[in-house]
Structure 1
Amino acid sequence: MSNILISFIAVITLFFANLLSYSHASVVMTGTRVIYYEGMKDKTIQLTNNDNHPNVVQIWLDNGSESSANEIADIPFIVSPQIFRLEAKSGQIIRLMFIGNKLPKDRESIFYFNFSQVPAFNEQQHQANKLVLLFNTRIKIFYRPKNLPDDINRLAEQLIFRQSNNQMIVENPTGYYAVVHSAMLISNGQSFKLADSIMLSPKSKTQWKLPSSVNHNAKNIIRLTLLNDYGVDIVTELPLSAQ
């Protein structure tokens, strides 16, 4: 084997070894979403560094556009701190504060909490051959007004599903976002996927396409899996009506 080939293999091995070393986001948030209730002074968010080395963490917010920067996005929140060094095996408390006053009172509003991490190498480590990956994490922030009339614990039962020809009419008449992990149609013992990993906005109506093989005259049901405020799957089976 030539020296050139040996050198090439060594470089590739080093490349993938370092890739595996940094191939997961090790700065994590406690919880899977943030619920910010109207009237709160602030909300604390816990970040933890599971690495054996420090990381530099940067935080920003956006209003639904992942490309928008915190400085230009129209966000009624601020966070502190926005950039910091997080030591190995340690945590950091983030304060999220509401500074707006014009959000709707009859429904939730949604924003996004983002943070990125990059290893905080010392001078000697910077000079070494390392592949460093930048990891971004994006978390939903639900701003929840006071006195919404609907019951968040019975959200699935308040959604309306109707079969109409080859379409499933889906209506969310509540003031809450319904985070759909999955929606399956059960017809004559068969399961058909309708949707997964989507959100139904408050006071909204949408349509899902039904498979052509579905028997519209059968007593069909929908098996709906929603994520609750704690990120836990809640499975509900609902009867369907034809229109």
Structure 2
Amino acid sequence: MSFNAAANVVLGGTRMIYDEIKKEANISVSNQDSSKPVLIQTWVENFSSQNKDEVPLIVTPPLFRLEPEQENIIRVIYSGAGLPQHKESIYWLSVRSIPSTQRSKENKLLITVQNRIKILYRPKGLSKKDASEAYKKIRFSLTGDKVEAINPTPFYVSFYSVALGGKELKEADMIAPQSTKAWRAPHGKLDREIKWQAINDYGGVTKEIKASL
């Protein structure tokens, strides 16, 4: 038995920002294999697996063949089905690559590769500048053995790092708009300085912010 994998498919970003005023969002997908085509399957799903609501975003094309060393564009379109206008919404874009096969007497195990990136739907009333500044407005507090974060903004903030007293909070990942989230504080005696960095719209890392709790 031999293996046939499709691991040479690369997306043109680590996240997709859907600005409502642009009517659609897009991202490139490329096949970096020099000899084998792949079949690409795309879809959008709710960010939480517990959310069974219908997804108001349509992806096109949903299924296509990508030739060796070629690139295509995946487009996401909002169906207009009532997303909040006062804050961002979040979904997953899933891209599955399926390797090509040739008839052979040899048994082969096909290995599909699936990538998932965040789609952040940003209503037209929210500005790109305010989104870039949102991480600076996160407020932290220390209560018992918990570090609590408050996000008063209408934007999702994805953390690159959060450290209290020089010790990283590895569970700190993302905080939703206008919400509170708590993580377990590091063990041991700590000073009360907290530092954090976030991930911006382009997948880059912001400057570090410091505060005392």
User: TM-score, length-normalised on structure 1?
Assistant: 0.78
**Change beyond 3 A, Cα 1:89–1:67:** farther
The answer to whether the 8 A contact 1:156-1:236 is kept is no
The answer to whether the 8 A contact 1:34-1:141 is kept is yes
Aligned to 1:139: 117
- In the comparison of the two structures, how many residue pairs are matched? 211
Distance 2:36 2:205 in 1: 34
**Change beyond 3 A, Cα 1:44–1:210:** closer
1:79 has 2:39 as partner? no
1:155 has 2:134 as partner? yes
1:211 has 2:211 as partner? no
Determine which of 68, 78, 102 is the counterpart of 1:88.
68
Distance 2:50 2:102 in 1: 30
Distance 1:147 1:73 in 2: 24
How far off is 1:46 after superposition? 1.1
Aligned to 2:106: 128
Q: What residue ranges of structure 1 are gaps of 5+ in the alignment?
A: 1-14
Distance 1:210 1:86 in 2: 47
1:238 has 2:213 as partner? no
Q: Which amino acid aligns with 1:43?
A: A
Aligned to 2:40: 57
The answer to whether the 8 A contact 1:221-1:237 is kept is no
How far off is 1:212 after superposition? 4.0
Aligned to 1:228: 200
Quote the RMSD (CA, aligned, Å): 2.3
How far off is 1:202 after superposition? 0.4
1:164 has 2:143 as partner? yes
Say which structure is richer in helix. Answer: 1
Distance 2:189 2:163 in 1: 12
Q: Which amino acid aligns with 1:177?
A: Y
Distance 2:65 2:180 in 1: 45
Q: Which amino acid aligns with 2:8?
A: S
148-157 or 73-82, larger mean C-alpha shift: 148-157
- Among the aligned pairs, what percent are the same residue? 32
* 1:154 counterpart SS class: helix
Q: Which structure carries more relative contact order (alpha carbon 8 Å, separation 6+)?
A: 2
1:31 has 2:13 as partner? yes
How far off is 1:167 after superposition? 2.1
**Change beyond 3 A, Cα 1:154–1:85:** same
* 1:157 counterpart SS class: helix
Q: What residue ranges of structure 2 are gaps of 5+ in the alignment?
A: none
How far off is 1:32 after superposition? 0.9
Distance 2:120 2:48 in 1: 15
How far off is 1:67 after superposition? 9.4
Determine which of 137, 149, 163 is the counterpart of 1:184.
163
